[in-house]
Amino acid sequence: MARKTGLSLNYHEPAQTFLEGVLARGDSSLGPVIEGAWRKGARFDGWSECFNLDRWMDSFEECGIDPLQYTIRERGVGEHFPWEIIDTGVSRQFLLAERERALSGTLTPDCRDAECSLCGWHESGCPAMEP
């Protein structure tokens, strides 16, 4: 039915989504886990037919890492985030304010259609600020 309306639906199996969440929120301590899973045969794990969560869970256990610490716990606002070493041009303060707005259900207007939201990107060439 979705094809008739021009919509398509893509999804991953829940176990794959779990691992994606761990890796997306992970830090450098996951390097040995990734290598361990690779040594156990993890290849092309984005494909359901190749994915084996047991390899990954064994590797987490061998490395003494609980993957749930990356997925289900709420991160504190004072906590260092692993991706903060990457300068995206958007300030941490803006992201924390956006988090509060999201939790309250408040939308931030798109800068291309409204005033600049002062995300910090304007200093490095925000496309919304271009003529």
Count of residues making up the chain:
131
Is 130 a residue whose pLDDT tops 80? no
Give the span between the Cα atoms of 4 and 6, in whole angstroms. 6
> What is the predicted pLDDT for the residue at 18?
93
Is 64 a residue whose pLDDT tops 50? yes
> What is the predicted pLDDT for the residue at 73?
86
> What is the predicted pLDDT for the residue at 1?
47
DSSP label at 124? G
pTM of the model: 0.67
Assigned token pair, 57: 């869970």
Give per-residue pLDDT as tens, 71-129.
888 888 888 877 788 888 888 888 888 989 999 999 888 877 877 777 776 555 565 55
Is 67 a residue whose pLDDT tops 90? yes
Phi, psi of 36 (to 5 degrees): -60, -45
> Domain residues of the chain, as ranges?
14-71, 87-129
Give the span between the Cα atoms of 50 and 99, in whole angstroms. 35
Kindly state the percentage of the chain with pLDDT values over 90. Answer: 38
Contact 122, 116 (CB under 8 A): yes
